[in-house]
Structure 1
Amino acid sequence: MLKTMDLNYNYEDGKVALKNINIDLNNGDKIGIVGSNGAGKTTLFLNLIGYLKPRKGQVLFNDQKIKYNKKFLRSLRKEVGIVFQEADKQIFYSNTYDDIAFALRNLKYDEDIIKRKVDDVIKLLNIEEFKDKPVHFLSHGEKKRVAIAGVLALDCKMIFFDEPLAGLDPKMSENMLNTMNDIVEKGKKTVVSSHDMDFIYEYCDYVYVLNKGEIIDEGIPSEIFLNDDTLKRANLKEPWLVKIYKNLETPLFKNEKEFYEFKK
């Protein structure tokens, strides 16, 4: 659906942000983009969804080069959405229901279709209790769910999540993870960036590693997180399940549930 060919991007001051990026987001349904601060993760996201235009190279959407005109970007954003780390960046209305409906109204959908789509996504995300509340009364985690609802209402086929668990308490993190898994089970793709390597290891089925604007490794999580050289170059921590595998000579478990079942 989305891939890049030798993508390069420079900041306004001329500093290189991304260099010769070649990625294919068809490599998985839960793709992770990881790297330390300043590696270029958010800049890559913004290039992939057409918010930024590369200096050189291409972004391909359904095997077509992205065109940076209103008509093409409109069609792109009907199928590809993003949930920013700070949900306030994509909250446009004071009322929750109207905010979820914002993009649909902006795209001139009929009100009866808007109502059906918004009601469906409110039910899906189990946010009926605050659908009529002012957004500024919501918690950080609730605002993120409203932001997700606005993207899901568009029926996007691919959703980018920039640090989806940042600032969430354990219960909200669990709710967010369940929501993302539900999205994938309904046939959609997710692309996530995160500093939480435990989350990336357990959630993702394919990972790209960014370091100083370049892809230095890619593959399934078990391959990535067993590569000491990659972790050192990108300044990444080992997931706890990988540490257990290395230090206690247990099998390499994919998630916490597998580990506890083994210990019974």
Structure 2
Amino acid sequence: QLSLMDMMLVSTIVHQMATNYLMGTKSISPAGCGARILLFPMLGEGECFLLAAMAYDRYVAIRHPLRYPILMNQKLCLHVTTGFWLPGGVDGLMQPGAILSFPYCHSREINHFFCEAPTLTHLPCAHATFFKFFTYVCCLLLLLIPLALLLASYSLILAAGLRMQSTEAQKKVFVTCSSHLAVVGLFCGTLLLIYVRPKSYCSVAHDKVVSASYTIFTPVLNPLIYSVRNKDVKGALRKWL
């Protein structure tokens, strides 16, 4: 599921960006812009909830190893994985209709490498204060809820790890969680820097760098982060080097 979301996220952004750079085109249709505004929240917020569920999965595996097949059965996993798309999908459906309905009577130039809602809110000549506030609240809730679940799961994992008598078992717990924590920090941390921050910290150059991090670099790094613990992958890498 994480691989699917990462591939879709990269496919949504990168091919248009590459076309713009290579072909010298610097325009996008309203429909194309709306499609990206729809898909990006659905994938981004869905991935945050997925990472929260993965943290809970690790908690169950570490805290209740014998009951794991019962607590994390296939039916529950199916319900959870289909539920990831719902919060982001609802937010994604609302944003394009609202933001593209504003009148753009002056500049239509987006100072960004893709259509992203926070960038477009600066362009309408109509009063968009309520929409900005509504978007801020939605993003705050849809990012802080999975982050709260992540913190709760890892607090319980840390408590369970510290109670273990074996140093080897404690080491295994923390190594198991390290790759997931790295992905959470890269993805959710950069999303918070864009969508949940004071207005005084707004900077166009800063936004471009941070946006590139969670739309391009994080999906590329995820397979490397998760596979670096795999013995076969490490052996193949050593052999290749």
More strand per residue? 1
TM-score calculated relative to the size of structure 1: 0.20
Larger Rg: 2
TM-score, normalised by the number of residues in structure 2: 0.22
Q: Going by fraction, where is helix more abundant, 1 or 2? A: 2
